[in-house]
Amino acid sequence: MTASDLIAEVQQAGGQIHTDGEHLYLMAPDPLPIELRERLRERKAEILAELRQRQAEYEAAQQIRCMREKGTVPEHYSAITICSHCGPVPIFPGVPETVEGCVWCFNRVKGLPMPRVRQRRFRPVVMGRTVAGVQVCIDGDKGERA
Ligand SMILES: [Zn+2]
């Protein structure tokens, strides 16, 4: 049983675990079984590490959301998708080429800055051969990126 499993077990029992420095606190409408509290005590270090990692992930997600709200393209948004509402937008890799809605839709609806994506035809010469394609530039706060 992992620390995540124990945290989930507490939540299924209607409780929550909080940390404050090196301490774990349990909040539950009814006292949790003593056997569960014993297991939590035994695995305290792992639970603390798990909760800290979750907090760090949450803070990173909040930071990315704040960047997007300013129209800033997060560093890892290295792909392009075509949103049916926003048009071409920068996105993280793995998103389909076209989507019905995107992470920038919130900006569009709220009138917040939108990233600009420019596409232009080009014929670069690669190893002596001309290659046709589309070059995509993303304007973020760190300047132009391909
Ligand atoms: Zn969109």
pLDDT in tens, 23-38: 999 998 888 899 999 9
- Smallest CA-to-CA distance from 81 within 117, 52, 109 is with 117
Domain boundaries, the chain: 3-69, 79-145
| Centre of ligand 1 from the C-alpha of residue 115, in Å | 11
Q: What's the predicted TM-score (pTM) here? A: 0.63
| Centre of ligand 1 from the C-alpha of residue 107, in Å | 8
| Centre of ligand 1 from the C-alpha of residue 89, in Å | 8
* 47: pLDDT strictly greater than 70: yes
Q: List C-alpha distances in Å: 97 to 34, 63, 74.
A: 52, 25, 19
Confidence of residue 10 (pLDDT cuts 50, 70, 90): very high
6 with 47: CB under 8 angstroms? yes
DSSP string, 65-102: HHHHHTTPPPTT--EEEEETTTEEEEE-TTS-SEESS-
pLDDT in tens, 75-101: 999 999 999 999 999 999 999 999 999
| Centre of ligand 1 from the C-alpha of residue 109, in Å | 9
Q: What was the pLDDT predicted at 134?
A: 54
| Centre of ligand 1 from the C-alpha of residue 54, in Å | 28
* 122: pLDDT strictly greater than 80: no
* 15: pLDDT strictly greater than 60: yes
Q: Are strands 133-140 and 143-145 parallel, antiparallel or unpaired?
A: antiparallel
| Centre of ligand 1 from the C-alpha of residue 111, in Å | 12
| Centre of ligand 1 from the C-alpha of residue 137, in Å | 18
Rounded Cα distance between 90 and 88, Å, is 7
Chain mean pLDDT for the chain = 85
* 3: pLDDT strictly greater than 90: yes
* 71: pLDDT strictly greater than 60: yes
| Centre of ligand 1 from the C-alpha of residue 70, in Å | 15
| Centre of ligand 1 from the C-alpha of residue 87, in Å | 7
